[in-house]
Amino acid sequence: MSKQWQRKLICSGISSAAALIPGLVVSGAAAVWSGAASAQEEASRVMIEEVVVTSRRREESLQDVPVSITAFSADSIGRNMFKGIEGYFSRTPNVSYISTGSRDRKELSIRGVTNQTDTTEALVRASTFAFYLDDVNVVSATANPGVMDLERIEVLRGPQGTYFGRNAVGGAVNISTVKPDQEFFAQISGELARYDTRDIEGVINMPLIDNVLAVRANYKYYESDGYIKNINPVGGGNDSEYEYGRLSARYTPTDRLTVDLMATTSDEVVGMREGVPSGVMSRFAASLYGNVADPDGVGFFPENTDRVNFDRPQDVGSKWELYTAKFEYELDTFSLVGITGYIESDTFLRGDIDGSSQDLVYEEKPISRESFSQEFRLQSTGNDTLDWTVGVIYSKDKGDIVQQTFAGAGGLFGLPENFQITSTVGDNESSSAAIFGELTWHLNNQLDLVFGGRYTKDDVEVSQYRLSSGVINGFVEDETDFTDFSPKVSLRYALGEDMSVFATVSKGFKAGGVQLGASFERADFDPEELWNYELGFKSELLDNRLRVNGSLFYLEWDDLQASFAVASTNDQGLIVFNSGIQNAASASNLGGELEISAVLSENFVVNFSAGYVDAEFDKFTNAFVDGALYDLSGQSMPNAPEWTFGGDAEYRFTFAGGYDSFVRLEWFHRDDILPDLVAVVRQDEGFPFQVPSYDHFNLRAGVETDRFSVTAYVENLFDEEYYTNAYQKAFLGGLHVQPSYQTFGVRVTMRTL
Tens digits of residue pLDDT in 286-302 = 887 888 999 999 999 99
| DSSP codes of every residue in 289-303 | H-SSPP-TTT--TTT
C-alpha to C-alpha distances, 293 to 277, 674, 734, nearest whole angstrom: 9, 22, 6
715 CA to centre of own chain: 20
State mean pLDDT over 124-140.
83
Predicted pLDDT of residue 700: 98
Phi then psi dihedrals of residue 348, to 5 deg = -150, 150
Length of the chain equals: 753
* Backbone Cα Rg of the chain: 26
Question: Is the Cβ–Cβ distance between 138 and 343 less than 8 Å?
Answer: yes
Phi then psi dihedrals of residue 587, to 5 deg = -150, 160
Least confident piece of the model among 14-18, 86-90, 613-617, 749-753: 14-18
- At 403, the pLDDT band (50, 70, 90 cuts) reads confident
Tell me yes or no: is domain 3-751 CATH 3.10.450.50.
no
Is the pTM value of this prediction over 0.75? yes
| DSSP codes of every residue in 571-601 | TTS-EEEEEEEEEEEEEEEEEEEEEEEEEEE
Predicted pLDDT of residue 519: 58
Cα dihedral sign, 163-167-172-176: negative
State mean pLDDT over 92-106.
80
Predicted pLDDT of residue 401: 86
Predicted pLDDT of residue 139: 86
Alpha carbons 60 and 50: distance in angstroms, whole number: 10
Closest CA to 66 of 727, 532, 645: 532
CB neighbours of residue 458 within 10 Å: 24
State mean pLDDT over 229-246.
94
Alpha carbons 66 and 450: distance in angstroms, whole number: 9
pLDDT tens-place string over residues 625-651: 877 889 999 999 999 999 999 999 999
Question: Is the Cβ–Cβ distance between 284 and 700 less than 8 Å?
Answer: no
Q: Which residue has the higher pLDDT, 338 or 86?
A: 338
Half-sphere exposure at residue 496, Cβ-oriented, CA atoms within 13 angstroms: 6
State mean pLDDT over 381-385.
80
pLDDT tens-place string over residues 354-378: 889 999 999 998 999 999 999 999 9
Helix (H) or strand (E) holding 644: strand 643-655
Alpha carbons 271 and 106: distance in angstroms, whole number: 17
Question: Is the Cβ–Cβ distance between 265 and 245 less than 8 Å?
Answer: yes
Alpha carbons 729 and 735: distance in angstroms, whole number: 7
C-alpha to C-alpha distances, 62 to 49, 450, 537, 687, nearest whole angstrom: 11, 16, 12, 42
Predicted pLDDT of residue 330: 95
Alpha carbons 7 and 274: distance in angstroms, whole number: 40
- Position 42 pLDDT exceeds 80: no
Question: Is the Cβ–Cβ distance between 5 and 652 less than 8 Å?
Answer: yes
pLDDT tens-place string over residues 492-544: 999 988 999 999 999 998 888 777 665 556 667 788 899 999 999 999 999 99
356 CA to centre of own chain: 31
Q: Are β-strands 213-224 and 240-251 bridged in parallel, bridged antiparallel, or unpaired? A: antiparallel
Category of 738 on φ-ψ map: left (φ > 0), alpha (ψ -120 to 50) or beta: beta
C-alpha to C-alpha distances, 85 to 153, 174, 331, nearest whole angstrom: 10, 12, 37
Question: Is the Cβ–Cβ distance between 688 and 278 less than 8 Å?
Answer: yes
Predicted pLDDT of residue 728: 79
Q: Are β-strands 136-137 and 185-193 bridged in parallel, bridged antiparallel, or unpaired? A: unpaired
Alpha carbons 605 and 545: distance in angstroms, whole number: 10
C-alpha to C-alpha distances, 628 to 95, 150, 280, 562, 734, nearest whole angstrom: 31, 47, 19, 15, 20
Alpha carbons 479 and 474: distance in angstroms, whole number: 16
Residues ≥6 apart with Cβ < 8 Å to 113:
128, 169, 170, 171, 530, 555, 557, 589, 615
